[in-house]
Amino acid sequence: MVLVNSAEFATHQEKYFRMAESQDICVQDGEKMFHITYQPTVPEQPILEPDEDLRRAITAEELLVGIHEDIRRKFASRV
């Protein structure tokens, strides 16, 4: 792991991004610390076929209706 201050990082960004391909880089800016790690691009995942989980799913609108009903019941029991 390499620790560098923000001014050094700003001046030599390309250098540190290249270094991040093989090791972690920590950039310190006052009290804050930022970690730069390399994550290779993940190949796109194939689209999955619908399954039982999808058939049981509800829409966002159905979810909101249920949430509103739960909130109304909760507050109605307090009155």
Element (H, E) at 61: helix 60-76
Q: Report the amino acid identity of residue 76.
A: A
What's the structural domain count of the chain? Answer: 1
Name the pLDDT band for 79 (thresholds 50, 70, 90): low
Average pLDDT over the chain reads 89
**Which range is least confidently modeled, 43-47, 50-54, 60-64, 66-70?**
43-47
Kindly state whether residue 74 falls inside one of the protein's structural domains: no
Q: Could you tell me if 38 and 57 are in contact, meaning their C-beta atoms sit under 8 angstroms apart?
A: no
pLDDT value of position 65: 95
pLDDT of 64 strictly over 80: yes
| Contacts for 27 with CB less than 8 Å, ≥ 6 apart | 4, 5, 6, 9, 16, 33, 34, 35, 36
Supply the range of the domain harboring residue 27.
2-36
pLDDT value of position 76: 87
Kindly state whether residue 20 falls inside one of the protein's structural domains: yes
pLDDT value of position 46: 77
